[in-house]
Amino acid sequence: MNHDDLRHWSKRAADWAHDYHATLRDRPVRAQTTPGATAAQLPPQAPEAAEPIEDIFADFERIVPDAMTHWQHPRFFAYFNSNAAPASMLAEQLANAMAVQGMLWQTAPAATEIEQVMIGWLRDALGLAGHFTGTIHDSATTATLCAVLTMRERALGWQGLEDGLSGQPPLVIFCSDQTHSSIDKATRLAGIGQRNTIKIRTDDTLALDEDALIHALGLHKSNGKRPIGLILAVGGTSVGASDRVGRCIEIAKAHDLYVHVDAAWAGSAMICPEFRHIWDGIDGADSIVFNPHKWLGAQFDCAVQFLADPAPQVRTLGLRPDYLQTLETSEVTDFNEWTVPLGRRFRALKLWFLMRAYGLEGLRTRIRNHVAWAGELCEAIRALPDFRIVTEPRLSLFSFRYKDDDAATEALLTRINADGRVYLTQTRHKGEFVIRVTVGQFDCTREDVMCVLDVLQELAE
Ligand SMILES: *Cc1c(COP(=O)(O)O)cnc(C)c1O
- Decide if 24-84+360-461 and 101-345 have a common fold: no
Q: Is 123 in the pocket of ligand 1 (CB under 6 A)?
A: no
d(CA 399, CA 381): 10
The pLDDT, as a whole number, for residue 449 is: 97
* Reported confidence tier of residue 81, pLDDT bands at 50, 70, 90: very high
Identify whether the C-beta of residue 400 lies closer than 8 Å to the C-beta of residue 387.
yes
Identify whether the C-beta of residue 305 lies closer than 8 Å to the C-beta of residue 134.
yes
Is residue 34 scored above 90 in pLDDT? yes
* Reported confidence tier of residue 254, pLDDT bands at 50, 70, 90: very high
Is residue 8 scored above 80 in pLDDT? yes
d(CA 384, CA 237): 26
Q: Is 237 in the pocket of ligand 1 (CB under 6 A)?
A: yes
The pLDDT, as a whole number, for residue 331 is: 86
Q: What is the pLDDT of residues 327-366, one digit of tens each?
A: 777 789 999 999 999 999 999 999 999 999 999 999 999 9
Q: Is 180 in the pocket of ligand 1 (CB under 6 A)?
A: yes
The pLDDT, as a whole number, for residue 323 is: 81
Distances (CA, A) of 339 to 97, 131, 139, 361: 24, 20, 11, 31
Q: Is 236 in the pocket of ligand 1 (CB under 6 A)?
A: yes
* Helix/strand/coil for 218: helix
Q: Average the pLDDT over 200-223 and give the result.
A: 96
DSSP per residue, 239-300: T--B--HHHHHHHHHHTT-EEEEE-TTGGGGGGSGGGGGGGTTGGG-SEEEE-IIIII-PPS
Q: What is the pLDDT of residues 288-303, one digit of tens each?
A: 999 999 999 999 999 9
Q: Average the pLDDT over 111-133 and give the result.
A: 98
Fold of 24-84+360-461: Aspartate Aminotransferase, domain 1 (3.90.1150)
Is residue 229 scored above 90 in pLDDT? yes
Q: Is 303 in the pocket of ligand 1 (CB under 6 A)?
A: yes
Ligand 1: residue of 136, 141, 301, 340 to mutate (most ligand atoms within 8 A of CB) is 141
The pLDDT, as a whole number, for residue 328 is: 76
Distances (CA, A) of 265 to 279, 328, 367: 13, 37, 12
Q: May I ask the CATH architecture of the domain 101-345? A: 3-Layer(aba) Sandwich (3.40)
Domain positions in the chain are 24-84+360-461, 101-345
d(CA 451, CA 457): 10
Q: What is the pLDDT of residues 389-429, one digit of tens each?
A: 999 999 999 999 999 999 999 999 999 999 999 999 999 99
Q: Is 300 in the pocket of ligand 1 (CB under 6 A)?
A: no
The closest-lying atom of ligand 1 relative to the alpha carbon of residue 138 is 7
d(CA 34, CA 306): 41
Q: What is the pLDDT of residues 296-322, one digit of tens each?
A: 999 999 999 999 999 999 999 998 888
Query: Which residue's CA is minimally distant from atom 4 of ligand 1?
Result: 140
* Reported confidence tier of residue 169, pLDDT bands at 50, 70, 90: confident
Closest CA to 391 of 275, 276, 240: 240
Ligand 1: residue of 265, 302, 394 to mutate (most ligand atoms within 8 A of CB) is 265
The pLDDT, as a whole number, for residue 329 is: 72
The pLDDT, as a whole number, for residue 167 is: 87
Q: Is 267 in the pocket of ligand 1 (CB under 6 A)?
A: no
Identify whether the C-beta of residue 396 lies closer than 8 Å to the C-beta of residue 438.
yes
The pLDDT, as a whole number, for residue 322 is: 82
d(CA 362, CA 289): 23
* Reported confidence tier of residue 326, pLDDT bands at 50, 70, 90: confident
The closest-lying atom of ligand 1 relative to the alpha carbon of residue 234 is 13
C-alpha of residue 185 to centroid of ligand 1, in Å: 12
